[in-house]
Structure 1
Amino acid sequence: MTTEAPVAPGRIVLLTASHRVAPGLLSWPAWQTLHAADRVLCADGAHPQLPYIREAGVAVEIAAVTAQELVDACAGGRTVVVVPSGEGDTALTDGLARLAGSGRVQMPDLELLPGSYDLPGARLLDLVQVMDRIRAECPWSSTQTHEGLAKYGIEEAYELVEAIEDGDRDELREELGDVLLQVIFHARIAQEGRDEDGAEPFSIDDVAGTIVEKLIHRHPHVFGDEHAETPEDVKEHWLRTKAIEKQRDSVTDGVPLGQPGLALAAKLASRVRTAGLDVPLPAGPGTGYELLALAVRAEESGTDPEAALRAAARAYRDAIRAAEGQE
């Protein structure tokens, strides 16, 4: 009496791929599996990976199979690869789970094979796509301008500072996102065409490219042949390259006058001190000149007067709430 050898159950490979990676950029194990498979199935005839898979000589069948049909296709030890197609994959995987849990079906081996992985920063691509759609379809967002959004940039920056001072990391993550939104929003508006002065449009890629070039140029101790052993060395490199780039006539050039008064005074004092200038403080009646002197002394001692005043104001707020019986 002879016994028949058990039939191999076969193998189902669910090939995953990140939509944030260019189609056709698959891992070597993914390509090996595709070439060795008995069948390759995909429910979406317009799947962006298909032209590249077919160009590599792999035949792909456009078919939306059920879980049972997929199991049957593996009979005799065959390997079937399923290329992801979106929402339909959930129904397929749920069906496979139900069959496996029933105990009535000899299941093929099931493998989840990552064909590509997200690189760090890949979710920024999602943000760009979401912003594109909002700009095109939202009645409010589609009418916004750089000028109209300016106040939100200031508000979000202050909320970010508050989250940092509170030490709230959850809030910090959210506020960083809100600040990033302002960058993406302005860049999206800027790519739509020339502005009123005829300036060329630019995109978020141009924004990123510009800051990448600036960072590389201003960090010769990282990307070049110079050396920096201390933070002071780094600051010296930064100030020197920045001065060469800007070719400013005055140390006050580039200091935004619209910033809060204490911060403005401290920034001017910092520029004067760094340049080695001897500039007497203007004298005059009124509180403004007294505050100017305080801000300059604070900057000279290494204290951020704006942050110091905010800290004092927060203590004052707490005292007010305590007096009101709220704390």
Structure 2
Amino acid sequence: MTEHAPPSEPTGRIVLLTTSHRVAPGLLSWSAWQTLHAADRVLCADPGHPQLPYLREAGVEVEHEDPDAHALVGACAGGRTVVVLPVGEGDRRLTDGLARLAGSGRIAMPDLELMPGSYDLPGARLLDLVQVMDRVRRECPWTSRQTHEGLVKYAIEEAYELVEAIEAGDREELREELGDVLLQVFFHARIAQEDPDEPFSIDDVAGNLVEKLIRRHPHVFGDEAAETPEDVSAHWQRTKAVEKQRESVTDGVPLGQPGLALAAKLAGRARAAAVEAELPRGEGVGYELLELAARAEAQGIDPETALRAAARAYRAAIRAAEGVAAE
């Protein structure tokens, strides 16, 4: 007669249910709700966890316990499923303890599963930026004293550094400089919240931008058609003319921008609107540069970009003449 070893006891299952603080509490995946309802026990050490009111409303009983790894493994004995809601972004003490037990080889471990109950949507980290900017504005001695006017130079500097990163083809630098430009937007919007007469927030800024993008892209969000970039530009200019009710195609062109860019922008506005305006003639290099900028714009060349490229080549030549190693 052959003897059979007794079947081993089922070891059960531990589910670490993570949720994103960037998603409204209670918005969990269907698999998360199924797991919560089917679990033998649901544990959460934090009695103020934002998900708890919604779990109670859904009929899920939550025990406010903070088990260590040994206790949690024991709670799964007999094939039970225990769901744990980690505190904050995760419970390192618990996960490290489970990892040590699993690595020891001395304990029959339950199945371990990390289940995301909710996922960040694209752009979710912008919510973190709102919170961080708000705290920095309130608590930093330098940041709390800044004004729109005092920050103007930084916006200009960051924009130029972004241009430099793009032209250099440095992807890592590009990502950083985009962040610095984004910081300026959030910084100004946070300051604007404090205006006693006309306050607005980053949500107002984003809302206006969304409305503008939809309004100025009728070929995407409406019934109009656009087959070429020129068609899109024509849509854009027509919509802007109606919105702004400008008297001249030159209205809205910032006169404080660099001279070559200003000349090209004016020439482009006149050409797009079919305004027959002769270039002014006069003595001096300024008129010569104006003619060069207008000609470049008509050929689809950005004169500022072209001049910077030539200037970088000139800089390299100067460094070579000085005997300085190339960068």
Match of 2:244 in 1: 246
**Correspondence 1:65 to 2:63:** no
Q: How does 1:72-83 map to 2 (within 5 A)?
A: 72-83=74-85
Match of 1:37 in 2: 39
Match of 2:177 in 1: 175
Q: Which amino acid aligns with 1:35?
A: H
1:286 CA displacement: 2.3
Match of 2:138 in 1: 136
1:6 CA displacement: 2.3
Within the candidate set 271, 274, 288, 1:273 is matched to: 271
Within the candidate set 155, 158, 169, 1:156 is matched to: 158
Secondary structure, counterpart of 1:19 in structure 2 = coil
Instruction: Tell me how far apart the structure 2 counterparts of residues 64 and 99 of structure 1 sit (CA, whole Å).
Output: 17
1:293 CA displacement: 1.7
Secondary structure, counterpart of 2:227 in structure 1 = coil
Instruction: Tell me how far apart the structure 2 counterparts of residues 78 and 295 of structure 1 sit (CA, whole Å).
Output: 76
Match of 1:48 in 2: 50
Q: TM-score normalized by structure 2? A: 0.96
Match of 2:199 in 1: 201
Superposed CA deviations along residues 273-318 of structure 1, whole A, max 9, x for unmatched, are 1121121222233222221122112212221111111111111111
Match of 1:304 in 2: 302
Contact 2:18 2:90 in 1 (8 A): no
Q: Structure 1 unaligned runs (5+)? A: none
Contact 2:254 2:262 in 1 (8 A): yes
1:3 CA displacement: 5.7
Instruction: Tell me how far apart the structure 1 counterparts of residues 55 and 87 of structure 2 sit (CA, whole Å).
Output: 14
Superposed CA deviations along residues 24-76 of structure 1, whole A, max 9, x for unmatched, are 10000000111111111011111111111111111111111100010111111
Match of 1:110 in 2: 112
Superposed CA deviations along residues 119-176 of structure 1, whole A, max 9, x for unmatched, are 1111111111111111111111111111111111111111111111111111111111
Instruction: Tell me how far apart the structure 2 counterparts of residues 211 and 272 of structure 1 sit (CA, whole Å).
Output: 26
Secondary structure, counterpart of 1:80 in structure 2 = strand
Instruction: Tell me how far apart the structure 2 counterparts of residues 281 and 107 of structure 1 sit (CA, whole Å).
Output: 82
Contact 2:42 2:82 in 1 (8 A): yes
Q: Structure 2 unaligned runs (5+)? A: none
**Correspondence 1:325 to 2:323:** yes
Instruction: Tell me how far apart the structure 2 counterparts of residues 279 and 185 of structure 1 sit (CA, whole Å).
Output: 41
Within the candidate set 27, 30, 51, 1:28 is matched to: 30
Match of 2:101 in 1: 99
Secondary structure, counterpart of 2:50 in structure 1 = coil
Instruction: Tell me how far apart the structure 1 counterparts of residues 107 and 35 of structure 2 sit (CA, whole Å).
Output: 25
1:233 CA displacement: 1.3
Percentage of pairs with the same residue: 78
Instruction: Tell me how far apart the structure 2 counterparts of residues 265 and 323 of structure 1 sit (CA, whole Å).
Output: 33
Instruction: Tell me how far apart the structure 2 counterparts of residues 151 and 95 of structure 1 sit (CA, whole Å).
Output: 52
Instruction: Tell me how far apart the structure 2 counterparts of residues 82 and 147 of structure 1 sit (CA, whole Å).
Output: 50
Q: Which amino acid aligns with 1:96?
A: L
Q: Which amino acid aligns with 2:226?
A: A
Within the candidate set 141, 145, 148, 1:146 is matched to: 148
Q: Which amino acid aligns with 1:260?
A: P
Q: Which amino acid aligns with 1:9?
A: T
Instruction: Tell me how far apart the structure 1 counterparts of residues 89 and 192 of structure 2 sit (CA, whole Å).
Output: 35
- Compute the RMSD of aligned alpha carbons: 1.3
Q: How many residues are matched?
A: 323
Question: Once superposed, which parts of structure 1, at least 4 consecutive aligned residues long, lie more than 3 Å away?
Answer: 1-5
Secondary structure, counterpart of 1:62 in structure 2 = coil
Superposed CA deviations along residues 66-122 of structure 1, whole A, max 9, x for unmatched, are 000101111111111001113771010000011111111111111111101111111
Contact 2:42 2:84 in 1 (8 A): yes
Match of 1:221 in 2: 219
CA gap 1:207/1:126 in 2 versus in 1, 3 angstroms: same
